[in-house]
Each structure stands twice: as structure tokens, then as C-alpha cells.
A and B are shown apart, each in its own frame.
Chain A
Amino acid sequence: MSDEVTVSVAIDGGLAAFPGLSRPVTVSTADLPPEEADRVAKLVADERLFDVPGNPPPPDARSYTVTVASGGTDRTVTAFDPVPAPLRDLIDVVQRHRRSA
């Protein structure tokens, strides 16, 4: 049984900035079904997760600020559309199991 991992995702920007949609969403592996928790554990162990292009955002692209917390430490990464694959997968899991923070 691996350590609990908490992932929060804040989506910002896009063609219109809606105040009601910019609240961060947080998911903990403790609250996920086992397969999904395993999936998150694998994704956050992938160093490519934090390897995102450093370019400034293109017009109307949404930004995704993802914070991964486990074992008392946390790491945050911000990416813009189109989001690279491992981070995209992690964001998808969080959005499937959204629970307002």
C-alpha cells in the first residue's frame, strides 16, 4: 500500500475566464477506487509529468496548475493547452473524481 497522494488541479483562462469554473479541484488517492489510485501513483512517479514546455501561453489557451502532494512534500507545475500526455492523464483522473476543495 503506497502513501496517500493528493492532486489538485486549477484551470484558468481560456476563451472566457469564468469565475465559477476557476475553483481548484482536489482528489486524494485515499478516496479513489484501487485501480484509479494505482493509476495516479504511477502517473505522479513519472518524471515527465513535470516536464512541460516553458513557452508563454498562446492566446485563449487554458492553463492547468497541478499540485501533487505526498509524504509531506508537494510539487506544482503549470501547463497550457495542449497539455503533454502524462499530465493530461492525471488531470483527467482528477476531473473524473472532482470534489471541490
Chain B
Amino acid sequence: MRLLCTILPPHLTDAVARNGGPAEREAILDTLAVDRSLVAMRMHSRLIPSALATAHTGLARTICDAKNSESLPGGEVRGEGDIAIDDITVTEAYDGLGATYSLFSAAYGRDSVDDEGLPLLATVHYGSRYDNAFWNGSQMVFGDGDGELFNRFTVALDVIGHELTHGVTQDEAGLIYQNQPGALNESLSDVFGSLVKQHALGQTAEAADWLIGAGLFTDRVRGVALRSMKAPGTAYDDPVLGKDPQPARMSDYVQTSRDNGGVHLNSGIPNRAFYLAAATLGGYAWERAGRIWYESMRSAKVRPTTGFARFAGVTVDVAGQLFGVGSAEQQAIRGAWNEVEVLP
């Protein structure tokens, strides 16, 4: 199907905030305070049972091209089922959205970011020589990179999975993007981003590289990726970029006001916990460790302000529920959090 290149009409959210009942108003205003999120969209799709609430299921991708401007979303260049166009960036984004949908659907029975078939929108060629990719609350955005330090940001499948997982986290746990909950939010994106890649390649935990953003650096950079889940702090050491500052255990937790309280730094700690659990269990990481993490992020016990220790406790409980108290799975999870000094 053809989709317009807009999936979240903000004025409608505003209209609900103005015209809805007290509970809806409060919910919407809370959400607006966080950002213009998918939660808001689900809210008004319940409130407005007309054209907006179209029951949609399944994979529905739209890729737009910002043509090196910073206006979003840009013009549509490929919709679901359309044949590929002669632009590798568009192809990578389209395939990457498909691989991400596929992991969540095949492994966890989830229908897209909101589990209600949310159409997936990505904008490519954002900005000029833009060295980044981000999730703006309703869509993914990818820069082309400057060509000196960074290649195009669609080159790494785990980065595409990372961005979309921000949408899943926003929809489920709603973790705030600051300090420990923010670092946990970042880690969940790395975990499922990496699992998207492992799932697409059919890799076991032993075969996976556990890197985030492999291929993003040009060959002028001394480094292999943005982060290493297996060995946080070792992904790069470069004269221009500096040295990978990620800690691997709680005693090295970085207190900083930068980067929303070090969300991209301290994510190294739960990242390594996931790697350790997956490596101990062996086999396909999305099947057991991934399933435990997925069910944990959906747990009512995980709230917007949840930090590492509380989340770790939930994963141990969930492992017990899914695989049995005292099971090998539960022991592996507890051992992993213990090794990174999050649980005693």
C-alpha cells in the first residue's frame, strides 16, 4: 500500500489535549511533555475511532528522502512492496526496517513498534554530511555521514534496529532519556539492534561480533564500531574521536551532565550483562536471553524511571517465570548482572 509520508499528525494530539476528557487530557499532556510519541498516537487512535484508527497489521514501510535538507519527512521514494530504486541508502533502510520487523514478529510475536501494526517510516539523506541517526518520537532519521570519519548511517543493520527499538521502548517501558533509565533505554536499543543483525544473519551468540555500528567508520578511523557489547570501552581509540569511553561494570559508572547523563556511556554496563547472559546460554541469543529481556521491558514493574538494578531484578524474575526458578537461564541472567556489579 501507498502511505503518505506522515504517520503522526501532531495537531490531532493537540486537539485531543484541548478537547478530550480530563483523563485523556492528562495522558496526552503527559505524553506531550515527554515528546510527540507513539503512545500519544495510540491514545488518539482509541479516542478517534474514524479514519485514524484504521486497523492495520503487518509490515508497512515507507522510505522518504530529505534530499540533504533537514525537513522531515521529505518526499516518499519507496513504499511497501515497491521495487528497489537505484539508491543503496534507500535499499538499506527498506531492508533494515524489514529485518527489524522480522525479528520482533518472528521471535516475540510483536506486530511492529506499537504491536498494532504501526507503519514504519524512515527518512534518508537527512542534512548535509550529517554524522548521525536518530528516532524523533515517530520516525527514524539517517544522515549520509561526512565521508571523512563516517559512512552513511544505514550501512549498519544494528543501527537501524537500534533506532526502531527506541520506538518499542517508548511504547512499552517509556524509559526517560536521562541518567540510568536513559542508559537502560540506550542499552535496550543496542540489545535488540544487535539481535536484529544476528537474526538476519542466522548467527549464534558465539558467531556474533556484538558490535554496534560496524562499518560506520571510514578507513581513516582507528576503530571497529561505535560500541562493543562484549568488551565495552574497546570499540575505537582514535586521534580525532578519542577513546571509547564506555564502562563495563558499575564501579566504573560515569557521572556526567553531558549526553543526557552519559546515556551512551553507561549503556555499556547492561550491554555487557546481556552479552554475558547470551554467551553463557549459547545458541541463538534472541531465543532465550532476548526473550527474557523483551518480556522484561514489557513488564509493569519497569517504569519510566527504572534503573539498572530494578531492571536486573525484573529479568531474573521473568527468567524464573519463563524457564523455571533455579533454571540454567535464570542462573545465567543472575550471574551476568552480578559480573557487571549490578546485582550482588
User: Taking beta carbons and an 8 Å cutoff, which residues of A are in contact with B?
Assistant: 12-22, 55-62, 81-83, 88
Contact = CB atoms under 8 A, between A and B. Distances in A.
Contacts of A57: 177, 260
B264 A17 contact: yes
B75 interface: no
A61 B136 contact: yes
Interface in B186-245: 186, 189, 213, 226-227, 238-243, 245
The 7 closest A-B pairs by CB, nearest first: A20-B242, A19-B242, A60-B134, A16-B226, A17-B259, A59-B166, A17-B264
Contacts of A14: 131-132, 134, 264
> Interface size class for chain B?
35 or more
Q: Which of A15, A55, A61, A82 has its CB near the most chain B CB atoms (within 10 A)?
A: A15
A41 B159 CA distance: 39
B141 interface: yes
Given A20-B242, A56-B177, A15 B166 contact: no
A62 B126 CA distance: 13
A55 B153 CA distance: 25
B78 interface: no
7 contacts: A13-B263, A15-B226, A21-B241, A56-B35, A59-B177, A81-B136, A83-B70
Contacts of A81: 70, 132, 134, 136, 141
A16 B70 contact: no
Nearest to A85: B70
B134 A16 contact: no
A57 B34 CA distance: 9
Nearest to A22: B258
B177 A17 contact: no
Given A17-B264, A20-B242, A56-B35, A12 B133 contact: no
Interface string B147-165: 0000001000001001100
A21 B34 CA distance: 28
A58 B137 contact: yes
Contacts of A12: 258-259
A56 B213 CA distance: 25
A13 B162 contact: no
Contacts of A62: 132, 134
Contacts of B141: 81-82
A61 B134 contact: yes
B260 A13 contact: yes
Interface string B247-262: 0000000000011101
Contacts of B242: 18-21
B153 A15 contact: yes
A60 B35 CA distance: 14
Contacts of B178: 56
Contacts of B170: 59
Interface in B319-334: none
A90 B263 CA distance: 28
Contacts of B131: 14
Q: Which of A17, A57, A59 has its CB near the most chain B CB atoms (within 10 A)?
A: A59
A98 to B, nearest CB: 13
Contacts of B29: none
